[in-house]
Amino acid sequence: MNMTRTAMLIALMTVMFMSVGYLLGGSGGMMIALLIAIATNAIGYWNSDKMVLRMYNAQEADERTAPEYFRIVRGLAANAGLPTPKIYIIHEDQANAFATGRNPENAAVAATTGLLQRLTPEEIAGVMAHELAHVQNRDTLTMTITATLAGAISMLGNFALFFSGNRENGNNILSIIGTVIAMIVAPFAAMIVQMAVSRTREYAADRRGAEICGNPLWLASALNKIARSAKTTVNEEAEHNPATAHMFIINPLSGRGADNLFSTHPDTDNRIAALQQMAAEMGFSHSAPSSRVTPEPPSGPWGNHDDQGSTGFKGPWS
């Protein structure tokens, strides 16, 4: 189903490219737009994950550089029956994370230093399990391709004035219409992405992630902390690249808390409530902390260690 949705999305955006190209430059503009669309689709399929990771200056981590983080992801991947994805760290104060890659064999997960510092090992496990659920459900292909295509569509808006200003007949009605359409497409490119990627996938990834890590309340508690971090800490890179916002576990953009038509994510309180209900059905009695609770002191990127070197983290894969 996700593969079908991705194919339809690619076809729709390709038609959009060609239509705007025709309005801006006639048949020649349409052919140029077609070539750009073909190139963008190819890049989006094969390299969009690398582009997104590079965009956020993500650095690959391993068992030597980030042992606890690596161990958590590796254990969760084994629980889910997935190959261990490549693991990245993003040097960003805002607590957040995302997954990318065209399939489980070519997947990657990335967490910010803010997330690794503010969350407990159990909460990190809940977040990484959610991201692995996206990998298992093959949501990541749709996420990465839409981010790449939306950026390319925005490019049409950036060049709209250039094309119209260099047209011999500036009064050509098609030229004027094309310019207006392209200029409107640019600021709404992120919204196109938000509508294209169904928000119900977040609920599905929450539920599957809770199954992978073994405790829905770990993820519920993590979502609460990440949502607060997103409201108080600006992610400058995400603000400059809003078309990638849908890839994160919580919307990284400021001022987007409402569960409305153009939101990239469902309301966090609704997600937490669903996880708490799931926890109750599984027999867990403790509630996730409310948004009024003071955050716990940072536990460090790999958790607190006792005198024996143990982190105190008892995951279901231990």
Residues 197 and 139: their CA atoms lie apart, in Å, by: 9
- Point out the catalytic residue in the list 68, 131, 237, 281: 131
The H or E element spanning position 88 is: strand 86-90
Strand pairing partners for 60? Answer: 88
- Which amino acid is present at 8? M
Strand order in the sheet with 59-61: 59-61, 86-90, 108-112, 97-100
Closest by Cα among 15, 57, 66 to 185: 15
Helix (H, G, I), strand (E, B) or coil at 112: strand
SS3 content of the chain, % helix, strand, coil (to 5): 65, 5, 30
- For 286, list phi and psi in degrees, rounded to 5: -85, 145
Residues 85 and 266: their CA atoms lie apart, in Å, by: 26
Residue 134 assigned as binding residue = yes
Placement of tokens 């295509």 in the chain: 149
Q: Is 131 a catalytic residue?
A: yes
Residue 296 assigned as binding residue = no
**Which DSSP letter does residue 296 get?**
P
Residue 305 assigned as binding residue = no
- For 85, list phi and psi in degrees, rounded to 5: -75, 170
- For 52, list phi and psi in degrees, rounded to 5: -65, -45
* Residue list for the binding site for Zn(2+): 130, 134, 202
* Residue list for the binding site: 130, 134, 202
Known catalytic residues are 131
